[in-house]
């Protein structure tokens, strides 16, 4: 069942340009040693397909290092997504005696990238519907009017913000209107280097119970965005609104807002607890 779930996650992250003819490499682990896996880019998400394997990494401050341990049990696989969207998949096997404790994994071993986009059909072009890092910009007067109102409003929640590398991401307001949740953000650049926005994504995360804990993440796909910038020049800031279909969260869940820089590594993860989402304006 776990293996099926992991394969589903690969499909869920979609748009993967995979080398289907390439056999997956096998990694070995046991309960005695930490097997170190060094990836080319910092790890954003990792999950194993069976409970007898545990893959741990720094979730608060993304790093290239992940640690693998195992107890005797079934054969399974490991799926890892790095902060540039690159995807890695390996077969996992338990082995009592290990001949290798450290793996330096190359970018060439990636099976694809979650940001890979197929060509837009002529019909989509004629409908003026474009895809920009999973944010669908729909020509809707109602959405646009609501977004403009929210941008101009002084109403706000208790602000949630995070600053790193001279870049500040701030969640200023959440508004519930007509079965949609509107998120108002402000992105500031106090550095002297331009910030090119690759994508802004929202994930609902559920913490798994048990001795070897992991974090399950589900991507929330936006239905509309208004004035989302592609570049923030040094010393500048921009406010924008992104709309989603209404959702709520249980106490054991949290929202992860993932801001990713194009052609750079100034990535920011902003965590928001469920109460903020469940009590919008």
Tens digit of pLDDT for each residue in 134-186? 344 444 567 888 898 999 988 888 879 999 999 999 999 999 998 999 999 99
pLDDT at 194: 95
Please indicate, yes or no, if residue 120 is contained in any of the structural domains: no
* Euclidean distance between CA atoms 176 and 70, whole angstroms: 45
* Domain stop point among 90, 113, 136: 113
What 3-state class would DSSP assign to 236? coil
pLDDT of residue 169: 96
Domain presence at residue 122: no
52 & 98 share domain? yes
So what's the pLDDT on residue 178? 87
| Average pLDDT of the segment spanning 109-132 | 51
The conformation of residue 87, written as its DSSP 8-state character, comes to: E
pLDDT band per the 50, 70, 90 thresholds, residue 126: very low
Q: In the structure, what pLDDT confidence band is assigned to residue 80 with cuts at 50, 70 and 90?
A: very high
Q: Strands 253-261 and 53-57: what pairing?
A: unpaired
Q: Are residues 274 and 135 in the same domain?
A: yes
38 and 82 share one domain: yes
Confidence of residue 22 (pLDDT cuts 50, 70, 90): low
Task: Judge if 25 and 62 occupy the same domain.
Answer: yes
The Cα-based distances of 57 to 94, 100, 153 in angstroms read 20, 19, 40
Identify whether residues 215 and 103 lie together within a single domain: no
Last residue of a domain, one of 61, 78, 113: 113
The reply to whether 148 and 225 lie within a common domain is yes
Domain interval for residue 232? 128-278
Asked if 91 contacts 26 with a C-beta cutoff of 8 angstroms, the reply is yes
pTM (2 d.p.): 0.54
CA nearest 183: which of 239, 230, 105, 233? 239
How would residue 211 be classed by pLDDT, with cut points 50, 70 and 90? low
């Amino acid at each position: 069942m776990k293996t099926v779930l992991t394969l589903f996650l690969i499909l869920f992250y979609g748009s993967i340009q995979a080398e289907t003819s390439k056999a997956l490499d096998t990694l070995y682990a046991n309960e005695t040693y930490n097997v170190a896996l060094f990836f080319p880019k910092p790890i954003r998400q990792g999950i194993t397909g069976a409970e007898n394997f545990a893959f741990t990494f720094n979730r608060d401050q993304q790093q290239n290092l992940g640690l693998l341990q195992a107890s005797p049990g079934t054969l399974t696989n490991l799926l890892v997504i790095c902060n540039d969207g690159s995807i890695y998949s390996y077969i996992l096997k338990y082995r009592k005696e290990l001949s290798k404790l450290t793996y330096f994994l190359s970018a060439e071993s990636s099976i694809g990238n979650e940001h890979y986009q197929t060509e837009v059909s002529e019909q989509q072009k004629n409908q003026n519907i474009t895809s920009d890092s999973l944010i669908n910009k729909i020509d809707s007067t109602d959405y646009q009017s609501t977004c403009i109102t929210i941008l101009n409003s002084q109403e706000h929640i208790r602000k949630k913000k995070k600053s790193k590398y001279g870049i500040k991401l701030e969640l200023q307001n959440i508004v519930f209107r007509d079965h949609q949740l509107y998120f108002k953000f402000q992105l500031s650049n106090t550095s002297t280097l331009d910030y090119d926005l690759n994508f802004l994504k929202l994930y609902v995360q559920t913490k798994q119970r048990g001795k070897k804990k992991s974090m399950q993440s589900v991507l929330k796909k936006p239905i509309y965005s208004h004035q989302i910038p592609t570049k923030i020049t040094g010393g500048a800031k921009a406010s924008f609104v992104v709309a989603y279909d209404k959702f709520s969260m249980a106490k054991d869940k949290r929202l992860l807002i993932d801001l990713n820089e194009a052609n750079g590594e100034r990535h920011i993860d902003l965590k928001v607890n469920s109460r903020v989402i469940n009590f919008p304006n």
